[in-house]
Amino acid sequence: MLYISYDFTDNKVRAQFSRFLQKYGRRVQYSLFLIKNSERVLQNILTEIELNYKNKFTGADSIIIVPITAADQSKIVRYGYAANEESDVLIFS
């Protein structure tokens, strides 16, 4: 699992990067995505950043990628809406 946080001063670049990350995971907060990764997914994301976003950075822009190990996942504490996000939902009709 990865958490990817980003901040771009350019609204257009920020929107493009957000749409790019939506292909791989889900938005947790405005500029924070949770991605259930594999080595291939991580490599795809890093390659895309290198090829299409790194050259658009200003001094105020940033991307932070935080890998979370399986052992660390069990230590995550969630409250409110986030507490139910990982639960399975069954719908009967």
pLDDT of the residue at 79:
80
Residue 58 covered by a domain? yes
DSSP state of 10: S
How much is the pLDDT for 17?
95
Select the more confidently predicted residue: 18 or 57: 18
Give the model's pLDDT for residue 92. 76
For residue 87, pLDDT over 70 is answered with no
Residue 68: give the domain boundaries.
2-84
| Residue 88 pLDDT class (50, 70, 90 cuts) | low
**Residue 91 counted as domain residue:** no
Q: Is residue 32 part of a domain?
A: yes
Query: What letter does residue 9 receive in the DSSP assignment?
Result: S
Would 62 be classed as within a structural domain?
A: yes
Instruction: Give the domain CATH number at 59.
Output: 3.30.70.240
Residue 61: inside a domain, yes or no? yes
Beta strand pairing status for 32-35 and 2-7? antiparallel
- 41: CB partners within 8 A, 6+ apart: 24, 35
Q: What does the pLDDT look like over 41-78, one tens digit per residue?
A: 999 999 999 999 989 888 899 999 999 887 887 787 77
Q: Is residue 31 part of a domain?
A: yes
Total of domains in the chain: 1
Q: How far apart are CA 61 and CA 83, in angstroms?
A: 30
